């Protein structure tokens, strides 16, 4: 049973957005980290890079798999989680605590197209 947190927005490619003000914390869901296995590398964009909803902004790699990170929202990267550079396994420990990038949202209406916790739960069939 994967952990799903109420109040977050989820995408079909298993990223989540946690919104605080106009800042979105983007990471991968607990379900996604479990499917991937031991994460050995997180490829992240640079601060000030632009991301767009539905477009790739990096990748998460395990030993035998790799998954592109698709941004659920558009905006400007204001921070990346540098802790993941040294310890990518943090994503496995708690993928919600260990977000990947922080984005200043340029279009908050995009959030409406994402799933809430309940819908995401149904989406992954749990």
Among 13, 18, 89, 121, binds another protein (CB under 8 A): 89
Asked if 62 interacts with another protein (CB under 8 A), we say yes
Stretch that binds another protein, among 17-25, 26-34, 57-65, 115-123 (CB under 8 A): 57-65
Asked if 83 interacts with another protein (CB under 8 A), we say no
Q: What is the arrangement of strands in the sheet containing 75-80, beginning at the earlier edge strand?
A: 9-10, 15-20, 23-28, 101-105, 75-80, 50-51
Query: Do 13 and 114 form a contact (C-beta atoms < 8 A)?
Result: no
CA–CA gap between residue 91 and residue 88 (Å, rounded)? 6
Among 22, 55, 63, 78, binds another protein (CB under 8 A): 63
For another protein, the binding residues in 6-45 under the rule CB under 8 A are 38, 40-41, 43
Query: Do 32 and 39 form a contact (C-beta atoms < 8 A)?
Result: no
| Cα dihedral value 51, 74, 25, 79, nearest 10 | 40
CA–CA gap between residue 121 and residue 96 (Å, rounded)? 15
Asked if 82 interacts with another protein (CB under 8 A), we say no
Stretch that binds another protein, among 11-19, 59-67, 93-101, 116-124 (CB under 8 A): 59-67
Comparison of 33 and 120: residue with beta carbon closer to another protein? 33
Among 34, 47, 66, 122, binds another protein (CB under 8 A): 66
């Amino acid at each position: 049973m994967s952990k799903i947190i109420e109040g977050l927005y989820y995408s079909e490619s298993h990223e989540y957005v946690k919104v605080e003000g106009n800042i979105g914390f983007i990471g991968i869901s607990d379900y996604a980290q479990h499917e991937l296995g031991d994460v050995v590398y997180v490829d992240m964009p640079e601060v000030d890079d632009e991301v767009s909803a539905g477009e790739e902004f990096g990748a998460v790699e395990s030993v035998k798999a790799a998954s592109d990170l698709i941004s659920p929202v558009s905006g400007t990267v204001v921070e990346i989680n540098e802790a993941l550079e040294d310890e990518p396994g943090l994503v496995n420990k708690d993928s919600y605590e260990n977000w990947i990038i922080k984005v200043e949202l340029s279009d908050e209406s995009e959030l409406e197209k994402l799933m809430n916790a309940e819908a995401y739960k149904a989406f992954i069939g749990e």
